[in-house]
Every structure is written in structure tokens, then in C-alpha cells.
Amino acid sequence: MSGPYVIRGSVSLPEAELMWRFSRSSGPGGQHVNTSDSQVELRFDLARTEALPQVWKDRALRCLAGRLTDGVIAVRASEHRSQWRNREAAAVRLAALLAQATAPPPKPRKPTRIPRGINERRLREKKQRSETKRGRSSRDWT
């Protein structure tokens, strides 16, 4: 593997907590595909990990609730012919997923008022348009 996969800042995925599973992958590979286990499933126990700060962990558990199975998140990769490249892809995908799930919520929107001048101009233009259209419907101009 190409080193620690950083989630954000100095927090990274601990190699000891990653569970790997390999199986035969469908897709490209020719004669090699029937004999090698190139599909990778990476599992990470989000509920029991000590690698994430508690605030991040709570946020991720809430955000990824639909993808979790007993607090464990699973990511699968089979797009490459090589098991090594699939391992890399799965680890990067998991780190990106956790980075997105642990991101702080966006700042709440501060409601603003529409300036009075804009509202008055809109109503003035609306009245002008109404007068123009009413002037077209009169039968006096023949």
C-alpha cells in the first residue's frame, strides 16, 4: 500500500483496523480472471474505532447510517485487473467517504431582506406593463 490514507488533517485510516476480503472479480482479465482473487472488499468498523475524534465519529455514524451494517462500513473495488490497484482504489474511496461524512456542517444561512427600492421598482414595472397591455385591448384606436 502507498502509506497512510489521510481523512483530514492529521487523522488517517489505521492499517490495523482495516479488514480486507478478496474474491474473484467479474470483468476484464482473460484467462487470468478465473484463477485470481482481484476484487477487494474493505471493511472498517466505524462504531468501535478509536482513530477518529468522538465528534467526527458521531457525525459519520449519523451521515452514513444507511450504509452501515452493525457499525461497519464496507467499500468494494473491482475496476482494475490487479488486486493491488483495487486495494488502492478501495482505500482511497473509503478515506474520501469518511472525509465527506466527518466534514463539519455548513454555516447556517443568514436570512436577508429584499431592499425596499427593489420591491418598489418591481411593482412600478409591473404596473407599467399592465397599463401597456390594457391599452392594447381598448377598441377606441380603430
pLDDT in tens, 119-142: 999 999 999 999 999 888 866 655
Distance CA 138, CA 140 (A): 6
Q: What backbone torsions phi and psi does residue 77 show, to the nearest 5 degrees?
A: -140, 130
What global pTM score does this model have? 0.67
Distance of CA 142 to the CA centre of its chain: 65
Q: Is the pLDDT of residue 91 over 60?
A: yes
pLDDT tier at 27, thresholds 50, 70, 90: low
**Nearest alpha carbon to residue 96 among 113, 83, 77:** 77
Count CA within 13 A, CB hemisphere, residue 66.
2
Mean pLDDT, the chain, rounded, equals 85
Three cell numbers written together for 96 = 474520501
Q: Any bridge partners for residue 18, and if so which?
A: 44
